Amino acid sequence: MSELWVCHLGTLEYRQALELQERLRAARQADAIPDVLLTLEHYPVYTRGRRSAPGELPMGEEWYLMQGFEIVDTDRGGKVTYHGPGQLVGYPIVRVEDVVAYVRTLERALIAALAQEGIAARARPEDGPDFTGVWVADRKIASIGVHVARGVTTHGFAVNVENDLQPFSWIVPCGLEDVRMTSLIRETGRGAGAIRCFRRRAAFQVAEALGRRQRLVSLARLEAAARALQPQ
């Protein structure tokens, strides 16, 4: 069984994580490293995907910046969303052949991880691309948006675990006017610290869904592999 290198990065600025993903994708494209899953949290940021449209930030960009939120345009699929502390973000840097099948695989992995927490979650592929992600009844608990270049992915998923949900109310999350967001602790009543346990569950289920054997690695190991590709 091929390996999935799993690296937990703590809390990172969004742009810093973008730059790391691009370097690791180049390393994966060159077969310098196996498939990788980065797990992390972000400082508060709104990100817009390729399908974002005017009006998804109804307060106006200046208002969000004054509240301390960075706004970043990205090449991932999907529309606007929020990342912040207490939300588990996963960036798989993996080879794929079928992007739609890959997105469905991520949904199944997250549903399985949430089931281990006692949460009955589901995907909604029949409702169209705007409903990509994972839902608990009509409440959204996880978002998915990916980008593929030369057969290797970046971006990935974000699961609301113990993060503040208020910032979602200041945007049109995922382009859905009436969407209600939820989180693991809201659904289960668990307290702070839930993210550490769920991070392990999610990483294991993603590895299982991809048919990979999980191996924990350090950021230094990943950085060394990426540096090996740079011209001397």
Return the active site residues: 174
164 alpha-carbon distance from chain centroid: 17
User: Who's near 128: CB < 8 A, 6+ residues apart?
Assistant: none
Buried b (16+ CB within 10 A) or exposed e, 37-56: bbbbbbebbbbbbebbeeeb
Q: Say how far apart CA 157 and CA 37 lie, in whole Å.
A: 11
Report how far residue 85's alpha carbon sits from residue 49's, in angstroms, rounded to the nearest whole number. 20
Q: Is 91 exposed, middle or buried (0-12, 13-18, 19+ CB in 10 A)?
A: buried
Cα–Cα distances (Å) from 41 to 58, 95, 119, 131, in that order, read 25, 23, 22, 23
* DSSP symbols for 89-152: EEEEE-B-S-HHHHHHHHHHHHHHHHHTTT---B--GGG-GGG-SEEETTEEEEEEEEEEETTE
Rounded to the nearest 10°, the torsion over CA 184, 190, 196, 199 is -30
Which residue type, as a one-letter code, is found at position 73? D
